[in-house]
Amino acid sequence: MHGRDAHSEEPVRVTAWVRGKVQQVGFRWWTRARALETGLTGYASNLGDGRVQVVAEGPAADCERLLALLRGPDTPGHVSGVTEIWTAVGPGYQGFEIR
């Protein structure tokens, strides 16, 4: 995807791995609230290495908005970095879960 194509309404999936002090600080619940406000589906889960994995599906522009929030100053805890990959949507999610 490049140019305006990245902002189309076609649904996409973004998987993000958030590093920093992001466990035991309400980060997954905060992420869920932001995703639901944006209309995204997916989940947030703690990983054994201290990161939080966020999987979100929806229009690319909305996924980009969530990534910007994850990298922004208002997250609980402290985010030191976010790595993401973009893929086609999977079988889909009913809502946005905490796992």
Known catalytic membership, residue 28: yes
Instruction: Note the pTM of the prediction, 2 decimals.
Output: 0.90
Mean pLDDT, rounded, of the chain: 92
Of residues 4, 13, 19, 28, which has the active-site annotation?
Answer: 28
Residue 14 above 70 pLDDT? yes
Domain range annotation of the chain? 3-89
Q: What pLDDT was estimated at residue 51?
A: 98
pLDDT tens, residue by residue, 36-81: 999 999 999 999 999 999 999 999 999 999 999 999 999 999 999 9
Instruction: Using CB atoms within 10 Å of the CB of residue 99, give its burial: 0 to 12 exposed, 13 to 18 middle, 19+ buried.
Output: exposed
Q: What pLDDT was estimated at residue 1?
A: 41
Known catalytic membership, residue 46: yes
Of residues 19, 34, 46, 65, which has the active-site annotation?
Answer: 46
Residue 26 above 60 pLDDT? yes
Q: Could you give the C-alpha distances from 86 to 7, 26, 56, 64, 77, in angstroms and in order?
A: 13, 25, 10, 10, 25
CATH of 3-89, one of 3.40.50.720, 3.40.50.2000, 3.30.70.100, 2.10.260.10: 3.30.70.100
Q: What pLDDT was estimated at residue 8?
A: 61
